[in-house]
Each structure stands twice: as C-alpha cells, then as structure tokens.
Amino acid sequence: MLIGVLVGIDFGAAAFAESTVSQKAREQLKLAEDPAVTVHGFPFLTQAIGGEYDHISMQAAGVAVGTLKDVELSAELRQVNAPLSDLIGGNVKSVTIGKLEGKATIKASDIAKVPPLNKFKDLKIEPASEDYVKNGKGSDEPADTKPRDDDATTGSSAGIRMSVKADVAGSQTEVICYAIIKVSGTSIQIAPERMELGNDEGTVSVPSAVRNALLPNFKATIDTGDLPFKVTPTSVQVKTGAVTVGGTADNVKFGDMAGSSGGA
C-alpha cells in the first residue's frame, strides 16, 4: 500500500512538472497549444530534489514558422538543470539544458508553397538514394523501383523524388524530378538533377527542351533560420510526404529557445 502511495505521489509530481514546462514552452515558443512534454526516468522526485534531469522530451505539431504553417517540432533535452523551487514557481527561463537535440518536420503541403515550387499542383515527396538521383538507370537501384521510406538516410544531404502536375504540350502531365536536398547554414537547398515524365505505363525520358524549361523550377531554398530551439540544422532526412531537418546545441537556456518569428 505504501509503495503504491509513493508511486502515485511520484507520478503526480512528474505530471505537475510536465504541465509547468509545457505551459511555459507554449508561451516561450509562441505556440498555439501546449506541447507534449515527458520527463523520463524514475523516480521523478529524486531528480526533482537534486534539480538534475537526465532526459526530457518535447513535441509540438501544427506550428507556424514564417511562411510555413504546419511544422512538427520535437526536442530531446538532456542534462537539464532545473531547481525544484523554480519549477514550483513556474520560473523556467533560467533552466539550463546541457545538450539539446532538435528536429523540425516540414510537410510537402508547406514545401509546395515555397517559390518556385508553388507554380505546380499536387506536390508529392518521396525519398530516393543520392546515387539513383544522380545516375538513374545504371545505378545500384533499378530504375523501375519506387523509392521507399527505408531508403531514407540522415546526413547533411539526401536524395529526394518530387512529383507534380504540370502543363506539358497542352495537357496535364506528371512531372518527376530527382534532386539533392542539402543543409546550407540556416537553410536547406533543393538542387534538381534529373527529370522524367510519368504516365499509366510508367515513366519516360524528358525531351531536352522540356527538361531545360522545367528543371530550374525545382531549384528552391527553404529558410529554417526562424525555427525555434535555436538549433542550426546539420542533418536532413526525406520520408514520404515530408522533410525533417535536425541539429544540436549545447548549454542552452530555456528562455533562449525561441526562434525569431515564433508561431501562432
């Protein structure tokens, strides 16, 4: 019975701390809703009394960042120093984070609004190996094999397959562009490499005149400088329907996590 009571108290205290951090994170990051916050490790009270937390997770969805309107944010906060008195009083601005691992997932619906990609309709995104992007047939991946999410890798660059609907020779046609997406400072850049036209029977090569006219329209830059968490992207990953950028930062104060634009 006593053990059950103590466990209940511990979980109750953890829930209070998570709620406090969540509310303050919403205010600090200018979010529309409280993010989900999880304090890892048991017992919680041992961490709280010492003011040291090994690992705290935070997730928020539907975040508006500049022209992007539906960004998903996640952060892993490690080596967190948060005195119990500050948590009880709701004063978390001076809380320090030894290491912060942040990720932002940008959906295809937002990327489709970035010029010049906003010229097209129905943008779809899938992963592709960088070798297949650059070489197509003759690479180690069959040309008729659709990319899969398990092709996705995490690094400073990645392959991306973008398909759109465009007016080609007076009719709506699926245009497929294979490109390299890479991190560059506080932005990610899309550099188109190859192009195909799709139909019910598969894909066909693109006449050079059409390719030369369309390929520059897939060259785009997505500014991530306003993303919260004060993390400069160092990695990019492509999965079906979205691109995720991530990075790390050391010795961050909770009060300094917001980006310059914020959210809602």
DSSP notation for 70-115? EEEEEEEEEEEE--HHHHHHT--TT-EEEEEEEEEEEEHHHHTTST
pLDDT for 5: 38
Q: Return the H-helix or E-strand segment holding 17.
A: helix 2-29
In this prediction, residue 170 has a pLDDT band, given cuts at 50, 70 and 90, of low
pLDDT tens readout for residues 56-92: 899 988 888 777 888 898 989 999 888 877 776 777 7
In this prediction, residue 49 has a pLDDT band, given cuts at 50, 70 and 90, of confident
Task: Please say whether the beta carbons of 73 and 90 come within 8 A.
Answer: no
Q: 38: which DSSP letter?
A: E
Q: Report the C-alpha dihedral over residues 181, 183, 186, 188, rounded to 10 degrees.
A: 0
Mean pLDDT computed over 154-161: 89
Q: 184: which DSSP letter?
A: E
pLDDT for 24: 77
Mean pLDDT computed over 164-168: 77
In whole angstroms, what is the distance from residue 30 CA to residue 10 CA?
Answer: 30
Sign of CA dihedral 75, 81, 87, 92: negative
The pTM assigned to this predicted structure is: 0.81
Q: Is the pLDDT of residue 195 over 80?
A: yes
pLDDT for 140: 45
In whole angstroms, what is the distance from residue 200 CA to residue 217 CA?
Answer: 24
Q: Is the pLDDT of residue 153 over 60?
A: no
Q: Is the pLDDT of residue 44 over 90?
A: no
